[in-house]
Amino acid sequence: MNYEILISFIGASMLLTIMPGPDIIYVLVQSITNGKKYGVATALGLASGILIHTTLVAFGVSAIIKQSQWLFFAIKLFGALYLLYLAYLTFKSDEEVLLNTKVQKKGLLKLYKQGFIMNVLNPKVSIFFLAFFPGFLYSTTQNTTLQFYILGALFMLQTILIFSGVAILSGNLAEYLKEHPKFNTQIKWFKILVFVSIAIFILFS
């Protein structure tokens, strides 16, 4: 078992999770408007959907690996190219972190369900996991499907911790975004750097 790869996976996952996107902004908005525990409920729902995407990727890629190492290399190549494509889209975009605080108040269970459904019904998550996970398989002896589930569990755990942290610190984060208009430009180049770095790691791992 290569623990260095696992540590690299956790680090890369955390960098990807803290990048502002629809999910983390949704958690932030729910926390600001309804309260911190509502943001945490949303975070738990979003993170729970990771299990579904992990299952789809785990069984699909594991079957491919058993057939051919060349096919597995093709998947890793796809992953690296996809991440470079995301870096390009980020470079071309005029992304802004906008906080729309006009949201309808819902119960904790409803917010959990909504977060779960939002994640599960987003096909981009499965595509991203397909691009991201294969480059971080850490053992040549452990069952491949089990490795994917361990990676999925680690990704889900750090997602819960970071999203819950965002919910708890929602007031401070919202104030920071208002006071730092240049944040969007800074985070844009941070995203590009993260995507390119992980793409290189996956290709040569």
Per-residue model confidence as pLDDT tens digits over 21-35: 878 888 988 888 888
In this structure, the chain runs to a length of 205
Q: Which of the pair, 8 or 62, is modelled with greater confidence?
A: 8
Sketch the domain layout of the chain as residue ranges. 36-93+115-204
Nearest one of 149, 106, 119, 129 to 44, comparing CA atoms? 119
List, in order, residues 6 or more apart from 64 with CB less than 8 Å away. Answer: 71, 72, 75
Q: What is the mean pLDDT of residues 29-49?
A: 91
Q: Across the chain, what does the average pLDDT equal?
A: 86
d(CA 47, CA 40): 10
Q: Which of the pair, 103 or 188, is modelled with greater confidence?
A: 188
Of 19-33, 36-50, 190-204, the range with the highest mean pLDDT is: 36-50
Share of the chain above pLDDT 70, in %: 90
pLDDT at 44: 96
pLDDT at 160: 96
pLDDT at 171: 78
For 174-188, what is the HEC assignment? HHHHHHCCCHHHHHH
pLDDT at 96: 59
Tokens representing 65? 């690996």
Q: Which of the pair, 115 or 185, is modelled with greater confidence?
A: 115
pLDDT in tens, 123-150: 889 889 988 999 899 988 889 899 999 9
Give Cα separations from 6 to 52, 124, 153 (angstroms): 21, 23, 12
pLDDT at 170: 84
Residue with structure tokens 């980020």?
90
Positions of E strands within 94-160 = none
Q: What is the pTM of this model?
A: 0.85
SS3 label, residue 105: coil
pLDDT at 176: 74
Tokens representing 34? 């309804």
pLDDT at 1: 74
pLDDT in tens, 63-114: 777 777 788 888 888 889 999 998 998 888 776 555 565 566 778 899 999 9
- Number of Cβ within a 10 Å radius of residue 182: 7
